[in-house]
Amino acid sequence: MSLLEETLQIPRGFDVPRVYNSSTRNGKTGNTLLLDNFLGWGANLFFLTNGGGAVHVHEHVRPFTSLADLVTGYPIGYVVNETTAAYAALGYSLASGRIGICSFTTGGAADLVGPAIIDAKMHNIPVIFLGALSASTAGNNAPLQDTTINGFNTVEAMKARLGDGCQVIDKASAIESVLYHARERLADSKPVVVLYHSDILSQRVPWFQVPWEDKPQQVDELTLENLISNFPHQTNGRRVVIFVGEEAARYKGIQELTTTLARMLKAPTIYTPTGVSAVSQENEFSAGHVMLGHNDYSFKLWRSLKPEETVIVVGPEPHEYSTNQEKLGANAVVITNYKDPYGSVNGSFRHRVAGNYTHIRGPIDVVLRNMIQRLSGMHLVRPNVEIPRDLNESQYQAPPEEFTNMQVFYRSLARHIPKPAIYIGDVCRGYKDPQNSLQRPVEGLKFLYVHQGSLMGQGAGQALGVKLALPNHYVCLVTGDGCFEYSGAALGRMANQNLLFIVLHDGTHGLVSWGLSKIKPYLPNSRKLTDVPSNDYVMMAKAQGWEAYDLRPDLSNMGELMRRFASLKGRSMLMRVPVFPDDDLGQNPRLYGLGRQGQANL
């Protein structure tokens, strides 16, 4: 925990030591050429499962033993199951700002990493997915793990996911163009899949280097100038709202900028589950979360937007859990540095806006500084805004005393967890309820959700990747019974990473069971098909080398357990929390549309 993140990243460039050279048995082949260029991009951490055609790449990868490995200049492999590995690469990239790598084996492994590839696309995360194909000579000979069109049809399946984001090394001369294409996509915060035939990549090849190039820090000056010059006329006397999405949370120093802009414009600031990390707890205009787990005030504000009002979108987040597939009901100024991001049409979100639309492309922090500087000398007339201290009007019904009051639980966790901390919500109640309970940003606590693909159990991989990227942060995953079924057997591989896993134990696929009670209230619990066998998660964790405890329903040992977690020197800890199956804390507007889908059109 004493190491700083900056010391755990090798510099980009080709002057660091390598694990291979021309004197090694399998030295300058396509395998080592690929690795050398990845390392030149600062990408040296591979999350992987070994086997199949990947063994020829992985023989040049050293096993992870400690954090110090990450600055040796060697490619380092963290071995874990494919799905966890894929989401670990996403978490590592999100938290470090560097390129995460998931290296997967031939055959069915490609389908196991598939959900993470889609999530990387839908959340604009730069990750390399490196995968082995059957030998180029396989033809119709029915090879094991057949990746040809007769088997898994891996190339076409990946191209269906990413289009030209899937690149194939089917001849040694293709390596260079594949690397240049991958670099371009990664620099624009997009994932890339690189597939290879191991017999092709194992050939000796000419040596070359593709240097990393950051995307130019350019701002659409003409559009920005037009916006600023017309801003007083278009907004004076009218409400301006700031919407903060997940892209904004990737910028250092962004909290100060969103606060300054909110104060200048007297703009209520609403945010998504990850966007809240780009908002300061000192921002008196913070007005709550929208959509998933929303607060009543922010939800009503969203629904009350008028065509003559303006919303400044600081990092668009088009996902259903952020906008519920609804159009923004006002004029919109959308600020993003992404080219053709997920959810856009021809690079624009015009189709998601009811009013006038302005699109400003450029680094979000640079654009905001320009806006603040240029607006500061203008006469801006803003209506008074009164944001209540309590952003919720609805009353939470506390559960029976043998279960945990979840509203109090999240507040207690936010207060007691050692800081700085990262909160990750798995696909369970844990990514729905904190928003409603906490309402506003929390000092020293950031939130990181990758939710659009909604794959149960993905959180374990995210937590692992985030921890390796930010070792001096405490990383907390809140997961559920159903999610734990997917990741519980991998705990042993993460026992010494100082992670905190909190299992919400309600004996069901809680998110689904809760949702069914809303859209199909006539279904008895016995017909919901959501039960999860009761497991002793504490003993399961202890058996895999973790410390593990039960949280008392009255939360009386929360402080003690958090102090224990803070004192651990590398060891991970699990807590089991008893949750009332019918607990009804955070709400989910998606259910309205989901319910309508099941209604007969008579």
- pLDDT digit string, tens, across residues 127-176: 999 999 999 999 899 999 999 999 999 999 999 999 999 999 999 999 99
Per the DSSP assignment, residues forming a β-bridge with 15 are none
Nearest to 118 by CA among 161, 88, 55: 161
Q: Which residues of the chain have pLDDT under 70?
A: 1-10, 16-27, 600-602
CA distance 70 to 469: 10
Q: 216-222: long-range contacts at Cβ-Cβ below 8 A with a sequence spacing of 24 or more?
A: 217/362, 217/363, 217/366, 218/361, 218/362, 219/360, 219/361, 219/362, 219/363, 219/366, 219/367, 219/370, 220/359, 220/360, 220/361, 220/362
Following CA atoms 303, 304, 307, 311 in sequence, which dihedral angle do they give, to the nearest 10 degrees?
Answer: -70
CA distance 130 to 158: 11
Following CA atoms 113, 433, 309, 338 in sequence, which dihedral angle do they give, to the nearest 10 degrees?
Answer: -20
Nearest to 482 by CA among 431, 409, 442, 521: 431
User: What's the confidence (pLDDT) of residue 377?
Assistant: 87
User: What's the confidence (pLDDT) of residue 6?
Assistant: 52
CA distance 113 to 518: 32
CA distance 431 to 457: 12
User: What's the confidence (pLDDT) of residue 215?
Assistant: 87
User: What's the confidence (pLDDT) of residue 8?
Assistant: 61
Considering just the CA atoms, what is the radius of gyration of the chain in Å? 25
- Indicate the helix (H) or strand (E) that contains 292: none
CA distance 462 to 103: 16
**CB-neighbour burial class of residue 393 (10 A; exposed 0-12, middle 13-18, buried 19+):** exposed
User: What's the confidence (pLDDT) of residue 593?
Assistant: 83
* Angle, CA of 200, 201 and 206, to the nearest 5°: 100
Neighbours of 565 (CB within 10 A): 22
**CB-neighbour burial class of residue 144 (10 A; exposed 0-12, middle 13-18, buried 19+):** exposed
Distances (CA, A) of 465 to 32, 93, 494: 24, 8, 11
Q: What is the DSSP letter of 10?
A: P
Nearest to 469 by CA among 45, 109, 20: 45
Nearest to 454 by CA among 321, 288, 312: 321
CA distance 44 to 56: 17
Per the DSSP assignment, residues forming a β-bridge with 288 are 270
Domains present along the chain, CATH in parentheses: 5-201 (3.40.50.970), 221-375 (3.40.50.1220), 406-597 (3.40.50.970)
Q: What is the DSSP letter of 575?
A: E
User: Sign of torsion, CA 307 313 316 318?
Assistant: negative
CA distance 122 to 450: 9
CA distance 456 to 453: 9
User: Sign of torsion, CA 469 474 479 485?
Assistant: positive
Max Cα distance, the chain (Å): 75
Residues 6 or more apart whose CB falls under 8 angstroms from that of 163 comprise none
User: What's the confidence (pLDDT) of residue 472?
Assistant: 94
Amino acid at 161: R
The two tokens of residue 455 are 């794959």
CA distance 19 to 35: 10
- Indicate the helix (H) or strand (E) that contains 463: helix 459-469
CA distance 329 to 353: 6
Question: Torsions phi, psi of 397, nearest 5?
Answer: -90, 115
What predicted TM-score, i.e. pTM, was given to this entire model?
Answer: 0.95
Span between the terminal Cα atoms of the chain, in Å: 62
The two tokens of residue 47 are 């999350």
Per the DSSP assignment, residues forming a β-bridge with 348 are 345
Per the DSSP assignment, residues forming a β-bridge with 129 are 102, 193
CB distance 278 to 314 below 8 Å:
yes
CB distance 464 to 491 below 8 Å:
no
DSSP 178-212: HHHHHHHHHHTT--EEEEEEHHHHTSB--------
The two tokens of residue 244 are 């903060």
Q: Is the peptide bond before 420 cis (omega within 30 degrees of 0)?
A: yes
User: What's the confidence (pLDDT) of residue 138?
Assistant: 93
